[in-house]
Amino acid sequence: MGCHLCELACSVTHHDVFDPGRAYLGIRSVYVDDGLLVRASLCIGCDACVDACPTGAVSRENGGYVVQRDLCTGCGACVQACPQQVVRITDGVAGMCDMCRDAGMPQCVQWCRPGALVVAG
């Protein structure tokens, strides 16, 4: 089923609340022929959010994404463009994985007890 600690770590790091629905990643459990499969939806760094933003509010910086709050209109184009469905609009502003640049390392990785999440590259 997944422990969801990564989602909780993400949401509390970015929103000061334990709410998996506000995390910039998602853990889903699905049944397949062989049993239960846990799948993670993570930012894959495809830049679809950057390309979709009509105001240029989204950019990539140090492996993560930065949203300039004063330019973001909250239109949701980045949400629609994200193939992993891990971009959120919160309080009228887009949010996405920034690799937890203020925390020093991605907190989803830090709190992943099974070690399933790692920083690649």
14: tokens are 């970015």
* Residue 101 confidence class, pLDDT cut points 50, 70, 90: confident
Give the pLDDT confidence of 55-81 residue by residue, as tens digits.
Answer: 999 999 988 999 999 999 999 999 999
What does the alpha-carbon distance between residue 25 and residue 55 come to, in Å, rounded to a whole number?
A: 24
Look at residue 82 in the predicted model and tell me its pLDDT.
97
Give the pLDDT confidence of 11-39 residue by residue, as tens digits.
Answer: 999 999 999 999 999 999 999 999 999 89
pLDDT at 107 over 90: yes
pLDDT, mean over the chain: 93
What does the alpha-carbon distance between residue 57 and residue 95 come to, in Å, rounded to a whole number?
A: 11
Long-range CB pairs of 33-39 (<8 Å, 24+ gap) are 36/1, 38/1, 38/2
Contact 76, 106 (CB under 8 A): no
pLDDT at 103 over 90: no
Element (H, E) at 55: none
What does the alpha-carbon distance between residue 3 and residue 112 come to, in Å, rounded to a whole number?
A: 9
42: tokens are 């993570």
Look at residue 49 in the predicted model and tell me its pLDDT.
98
Is residue 23 classed as helix, strand or coil in its secondary structure?
coil
Look at residue 114 in the predicted model and tell me its pLDDT.
86
Q: Which pTM was predicted?
A: 0.88
pLDDT at 1 over 80: no
